[in-house]
Homo-oligomer: A and B are copies of this chain.
Amino acid sequence: MTNSIYSDYPPQINSAQKEFLVRTVKDWTAQHGLVIRPSPAFISKESDPRGVTVTSAPVTLFPSPFPKACFEEAKALQTVYNKLYAAITCNEKWIGDIMEDLIDVDDFISHLWKVHLAVKEEGYTQTLSLGLYRSDYMAHVPSDDTAPSLKQVEFNTISSSFGGLSSLVTSLHSELLDSPPGHPIAYPSHPLLDSNRPPENTSVETLSAGLATAHTAYGPSKSSPALPTCILFLVQEGERNVFDQLALSRQLTTTYKIPVFRLLSSEIFDHTFIPSSNPSRPLLYRPPHAESTSFEVTTVYLRCFYTPTDYRSERDWEARTHLERSAAIKCPTVLNQLAGSKIVQQVLAEEKGTDHLASFLADTNPAILARLRETFAPQYDLSVNSRGRELALNPITAANHVLKPQREGGGNNVYKEAIPEFLQSLPETEWKRWILMELIQPPAEAKNVALRPDGEVLSGHVIGELGVYGTILWDQAEGKVLQNEQGGWLMRTKAKDVDEGGVATGFSSLDSIILY
């Protein structure tokens, strides 16, 4: 049933149609800022030493079909998820118990936890916390005669990206569907395309509104005399996805009139400081291009520091601590980042023992909690005599699973039949570093065509991943939620062989959806 939707989609295109679509998409992306800085493998540093060129972001030529019920469910659950992760973040003891177990497994987690402990010892000066989240899902279709269900891949609590570009892809596909006006011929006629349009995508508005709400909630300057206030985007050196971030700062500047600055994580100590004389610990930013003007940072938006490689030396950890102890609202705090780690996702999904959902969301209708739980893919630790160990070692059940390292930013996953042999090649003491997760089975017949950033056009079988954005502002001291919103989404479409061979030979592209 589901597969028949995908089997003749997207429509066949001849070479003239393909040429037209590719040229139109290439021009559209460049005209609308749906672009990235090119990789050095494509445009070398020698060709463009001053870094002025851009190229098309990877995008699909067609929107991808997605089950309407799954899309609606993902949207409906987002504010519940927001609340869940805020509640987890408020339960420092619960997080701590999990993290203490991981300290010898995961340097990164261990370092983050120490940042929190250090600031806790001094005392946090800011109790407000901002989350800009993206919950990623697949449509799960284990067999052709069951209705697709929604399964969560991961929940991102830091640097949730692509909100700035994904609404542009929605516009691109929507325009193509109606191009030219009145007599659409950009796409060949196809039942899925002739009347469907991608749903509204407010990712830029939603994420920017979240940041603006935090900025306002910060209140007046804590400096004397008062300083002008700003939001600070902390970014990675050599970031190629800069236009995704600039879409949010543009919205903050034009719609909310909030000053926004960008600062490399490596330059935090060069241009920000906390006056030791001020017990409120405001974070001051002194722009290198106008050093006589200082701004007080209301909100620190991290588009860095999410992966171990972002911390190249102890100085980077000190910089993270410096931000954490300041009065700026962090998006996210260290605790909130830890709440988004893989291990937390696995603990939440555990079917035995404490009902964590019910305790974190005590005032939420149990029927809603049951729906939330439905989005969890079964996942297990590999402790002695556990269900996980049993499933992983039996080749028949292993075939339906993926083995993931618990480490954040760690190595490759191990798939299916390879799992038992892989585990047996490791000493048993190492097994606790891994999580077993039941495979999500996306529609097998899904296909699309993608324009790559080097201009190549690839087509083939794909796996689609839907992300839904949410924002939440809460008071960490009282657990009180000040704002909780859902809005905007992201479709990412990957070449199918990425997940199976272990090597990413294919593509991952920005996409949009048409609902069925």
Q: Interface code A168-200, partner B: CB below 8 Å = 1, 0 otherwise? A: 000000010001111101101000000000000
Cβ of A453 < 8 Å from any Cβ of B? yes
Q: How far is the CA of A50 from the CA of B181 in the complex (A)?
A: 28
Cβ of A494 < 8 Å from any Cβ of B? no
Q: How far is the CA of A9 from the CA of B291 in the complex (A)?
A: 22
Cβ of A261 < 8 Å from any Cβ of B? yes
CB pair A48–B43 under 8 Å, yes or no, is: yes
CB pair A52–B52 under 8 Å, yes or no, is: no
Cβ of A250 < 8 Å from any Cβ of B? yes
Nearest CB in chain B: distance from A126 CB, A:
22
Partner of A16, one of B50, B186, B289: B289
**What are 19 contact pairs spanning A and B, CB under 8 A?**
A17-B289, A19-B289, A27-B242, A32-B33, A35-B54, A38-B53, A43-B47, A48-B455, A50-B456, A52-B55, A52-B56, A52-B451, A52-B454, A54-B55, A180-B258, A180-B259, A180-B261, A185-B287, A188-B290
CB pair B455–A180 under 8 Å, yes or no, is: no
By beta carbon, the residue of chain B nearest A245 is: B27
Q: How far is the CA of A44 from the CA of B456 in the complex (A)?
A: 17
Chain B residues, CB < 8 A from A38: 53
Chain B residues, CB < 8 A from A453: 52
Partner of A455, one of B52, B188, B228, B258: B52
Cβ of A26 < 8 Å from any Cβ of B? yes
Cβ of A141 < 8 Å from any Cβ of B? no
Cβ of A230 < 8 Å from any Cβ of B? yes
Cβ of A516 < 8 Å from any Cβ of B? no
CB pair A454–B182 under 8 Å, yes or no, is: no
Chain B residues, CB < 8 A from A454: 48, 50, 52
Partner of A54, one of B30, B47, B186, B259: B30
CB pair A53–B50 under 8 Å, yes or no, is: no
Q: Interface code A217-256, partner B: CB below 8 Å = 1, 0 otherwise? A: 0000000000010100000000000110011001001000
Given contacts A180-B230, A185-B293, 19 further A-B contacts (CB under 8 A): A16-B289, A19-B288, A19-B289, A20-B288, A20-B289, A26-B52, A31-B243, A31-B246, A35-B54, A48-B455, A52-B55, A52-B454, A180-B258, A180-B260, A180-B261, A183-B228, A183-B293, A185-B289, A185-B290
- How big is chain A's contact interface, by range? 35 or more
CB pair A30–B26 under 8 Å, yes or no, is: no
Chain B residues, CB < 8 A from A295: 183
Nearest CB in chain B: distance from A97 CB, A:
43
Question: A residues touching B (Cβ–Cβ < 8 Å)?
Answer: 16-17, 19-21, 26-27, 30-33, 35, 38, 42-44, 47-56, 175, 179-183, 185-186, 188, 228, 230, 242-243, 246-247, 250, 253, 257-261, 287-291, 293, 295, 451, 453-456
Q: How far is the CA of A35 from the CA of B257 in the complex (A)?
A: 26
Chain B residues, CB < 8 A from A188: 290
Nearest CB in chain B: distance from A455 CB, A:
3
By beta carbon, the residue of chain B nearest A47 is: B47
By beta carbon, the residue of chain B nearest A44 is: B47
Q: How far is the CA of A516 from the CA of B243 in the complex (A)?
A: 36
CB pair B33–A30 under 8 Å, yes or no, is: yes
CB pair B289–A246 under 8 Å, yes or no, is: no
Q: How far is the CA of A250 from the CA of B171 in the complex (A)?
A: 13
By beta carbon, the residue of chain B nearest A246 is: B31
Chain B residues, CB < 8 A from A33: 30-33
Residue from A21, A55, A456 having most chain B Cβ neighbours under 10 A: A55
CB pair A53–B43 under 8 Å, yes or no, is: yes
Q: How far is the CA of A169 from the CA of B276 in the complex (A)?
A: 44
Chain B residues, CB < 8 A from A243: 27, 30-31
Nearest CB in chain B: distance from A212 CB, A:
12
Chain B residues, CB < 8 A from A293: 183, 185
- The answer to whether residues A30 and B19 also contact, given A52-B453, A53-B54, A261-B180 and a CB cut-off of 8 A, is no
